[in-house]
Structure 1
Amino acid sequence: MALAAGCAWQPPVTDQAVPPATVADTAARFSEPEAPFEPPADDAFHVQPSAAELAAVAPGTILRYRPIAPEAYYFFEVNARAWQVVYRSNDTNGKPQAVVATILVPDEPKPRLLSYQVAYDALTRRCAPSYEILSGSMVEHLLMNKALRRGWVVVIPDYEGPETQFLAGRNAGQGVLDGIRAARRFLPDAWVDADTPAALWGYSGGAFASLWAAEIAADYAPETNLVGIAAGGPPADLASSAEHVDGGLFAGLYFAAVIGLSRAYDRIDVDTLLNEKGRRMFEDLDASCVGQELAWVKDPVLSGYSFDDMRDYVTVDNLLAVPVVRQVIAENRLGQRAFTAPLLYYHARFDQITPTSDARALARRYCELGVPVVFESAFGEHITAAITHASRAVDFLADRFAGLSPADDCAQLSRDRNP
């Protein structure tokens, strides 16, 4: 019977008012979407409000909301009640924009709030978490379920924003933090209130967004009350990772990153930098995403770009040496700002995208900024390590929620650099 029902599971409704009157009286309520689901580009729920409407409210303010029935990947369950909210955030350049987040609440929620950043690595909103959890194509709900089983409330932001600015750090970090703000406003105080501790978790592109949120939280959202971050396999150095994958199996990631960053930074003059072959590549991958095969869109890694070199698509000898490109990469570099929450940084032993030396260098930068870092080697390569180390990530965050102090590997990381 569960399989026939599509594995969408909703716990019993309690007497809690969702959302509170402060939201219900000011935000527009949409009805629960039904299959076949409209993709975000055709869904009225996702339409950007007017510039005036966005400018009139503070970041994190909820503009729309709706209940949903979260759909699981194949035969698994999403054991939570769920809602989606549209909230005001800011893009890379500080321009107000509306972002969507999905909020999952287990049957007996505890005062714990986890912001989970999906590695959707997308150039199209068809791969956004808010759409994939409706259509049942999100693989990472298997990891979120580990948190839901512990009673944690989970918020899943579409942190790339409406323009899907892949790898634009500030855009992503602000989307994450405003999603936490929106979740606090949407849920009753009995579940989540202003004092509820929050944690961040993500892998790969999701780890990049999580770390950016942690780095800017003190300035952008100082009330967030972050107690822990679990980040696995982030691109520790964008330029180094680009050089590492260029001409190899994962070369398509480099192409996707250029497209995503060019959307966030119009000072990257792609018309001048791309040759005719590069312009065709941009058009070909304009609506692609990495590793989201059930979204039925192109995957940059599987679309014929493996083992290609970027130099064949541009008008310069080395794209990474172009001053404006170097500046954008520097602005999106991780490890520039301190945060007080302890960090579990895990990295695959056989990672194909980020060299281990880059990962350890980023961990050391955080140590030098005063961040308590636990650095661990995860079994497997880049993809499998997301699974093999997931339980460890949840255990780490559970201890942070409990107020326990973690070990700190900073002394060892320093010795490894200076034997």
Structure 2
Amino acid sequence: MRVVSPACRSVALRPLVFFFVSLSLLAAGCAWQPPVTDVAVPPPAVAAAAARFPQPDAPFTEPAEDAFHAQPHAAELQATPPGTVMRYRPIAPEAYYFFGVNARAWQVVYRSNDTNGQPQASVATLLVPDDPAPRLLSYQVAYDALTRRCAPSYEILSGSMVEHMLMDKALRRGWIVVLPDYEGPHTQFLAGRNSGQGVLDGIRAARTFLPAAWVDDDTPVALWGYSGGAFASLWAAEIAADYAPEIPIVGVAAGGPPADLASSAEHIDGGLFAGLYFAAVVGLSRAYDTIDTQTLLNADGREMFDDVSDSCVGQELAWVKDPLLSGYAFDDMRDYTTVDNLLTVPAIQQVIAENRLGQRGFDVPLYYYHAFFDELTPRADARDLARRYCELGVAVDFRYALGEHISAALTRASSAVRYLDARFAGETPASDCEKLRGD
């Protein structure tokens, strides 16, 4: 199958677009076209069972109105095993509005489960570089979204995905990359189990959809993500042994995750990034009906809830409302609630406890990096999480990165790729656990 990258298009320059394009000029080419291949994609068994959709063309239909994203009938979902590919389509992926991505690409709709174990259909994007190596990377984009307009599957079509420059490091090594919409169809932002299952079922779907010439049962798998993407990656690692033991995960790279949701909420409440606290309340309330927002929020809070419910954090290239830039900076949560401290409400405490990282260990090594001056998660929380993983038997390579939250995503990306490359090669990882225990 041959997928042709789109020609470069002229669009009005926008400040943020120009910034990211400048950084990615060497990482993408608008004239690149993948070679013709004799490999059947998908394999005949998948093609016979799944519905094929045509390649989407611009202007792209938003997920809420796109038939490809529609939820299958409940009975069909219930009868379908997790990770099963139900629909698929070829796509022409795009980076930063101007450039095609150097990969053949498909999108798949696959069965997964939500926070409460109910079946749902999610979408993943599969990127296959020229001459792919037997390596599969699940890259979790930090789309931190409350609307599917910021889902990776939509941003890779429109060219608005900020993190393309990071995943391109993997594509250049020949790794096959899967980008799951791990928040699911209801964008349950920061719902850990929902996200972890979305990641693992996306890997299952990729292993089924891609031909054995590229990916087979023995192909090693790695997880990588930053910020919200790190949260999803770590949740996937923590539940993998029980939920998807057949996936041969060999390593995890996670940067800047919210190590403790309650601590992060207290840290940013009333500060510049207070809007992220409000977004977290919206996302978690979609996963847990025990969060009674009608009772807990006052009139201003309900107005805030509606306003934030169609936003995404840090996705300015997608031209979507950002809760950090929408007038909530330096606001206190108590001004929007009927209680003095939302974090003392038993139902909220239970949800926070259920979504806490570091509750389970995993039998694969972890590269954990965190900005020394991170605005969202105190560095002491990051060290505590690394120590908890050590106590649970994880070999942790823990590094602080000079700078703040955004800069650390860039400065440590190459180190994360090198770490995962060594895990793919079967090299013995370094561990800082002895030092962490002594601190």
Partner in structure 2 of residue 393 of structure 1: 416
Give the distance between the partners of 1:77 and 1:44, measured in 2 at CA: 24
Say if 1:104 and 1:154, in contact at 8 Å, map to a contact too: yes
Amino acid at match of 2:143: Y
Give the distance between the partners of 1:92 and 1:10, measured in 2 at CA: 40
Give the distance between the partners of 1:349 and 1:38, measured in 2 at CA: 41
Partner of 1:25, secondary structure, is helix
Amino acid at match of 2:295: T
Partner in structure 1 of residue 40 of structure 2: 17
1:189 corresponds to which of 206, 209, 212: 212
State the superposition RMSD in angstroms: 1.2
1:162 and 2:162 aligned = no
1:97 and 2:120 aligned = yes
Partner in structure 2 of residue 217 of structure 1: 240
Give the distance between the partners of 1:206 and 1:109, measured in 2 at CA: 24
TM-score of the pair, normalised by structure 2: 0.93
Amino acid at match of 2:399: E
Partner in structure 1 of residue 24 of structure 2: none
Amino acid at match of 2:158: S
Partner of 1:361, secondary structure, is helix
Say if 1:246 and 1:310, in contact at 8 Å, map to a contact too: yes
Partner of 1:94, secondary structure, is coil
Give the distance between the partners of 1:51 and 1:9, measured in 2 at CA: 41
Say if 2:7 and 2:100, in contact at 8 Å, map to a contact too: no
Residues 62-77 of structure 1: matches in 2 within 5 Å? 62-77=85-100
Aligned residues: 416
Partner in structure 2 of residue 79 of structure 1: 102
Amino acid at match of 2:204: R
The C-alpha deviation readout for 1:146-175, integer Å capped at 9, x for no partner, is 000000000000000000000000000000
1:246 corresponds to which of 244, 266, 269: 269
1:350 corresponds to which of 373, 378, 384: 373
Partner of 1:188, secondary structure, is coil
The C-alpha deviation readout for 1:82-136, integer Å capped at 9, x for no partner, is 0000000000000000000000000010110000000000000000000000000
1:114 corresponds to which of 134, 137, 145: 137
Amino acid at match of 2:411: T
Say if 1:112 and 1:197, in contact at 8 Å, map to a contact too: yes
1:255 corresponds to which of 263, 278, 288: 278
Gaps of 5+ in 2: 1-5, 12-29
1:272 and 2:272 aligned = no
The C-alpha deviation readout for 1:262-304, integer Å capped at 9, x for no partner, is 0000011111000000000001111100011122221000000
1:78 Cα offset (Å): 1.5
Say if 2:259 and 2:382, in contact at 8 Å, map to a contact too: yes
1:49 and 2:88 aligned = no
Partner in structure 2 of residue 3 of structure 1: 8
Give the distance between the partners of 1:335 and 1:371, measured in 2 at CA: 10
Partner in structure 1 of residue 344 of structure 2: 321
Partner in structure 2 of residue 306 of structure 1: 329
1:73 Cα offset (Å): 1.0
Give the distance between the partners of 1:4 and 1:169, measured in 2 at CA: 39
1:136 and 2:141 aligned = no
2:315 corresponds to which of 280, 292, 295: 292
Give the distance between the partners of 1:173 and 1:96, measured in 2 at CA: 14
1:10 Cα offset (Å): 3.5
Stretch moving more, 74-83 or 279-288 = 74-83
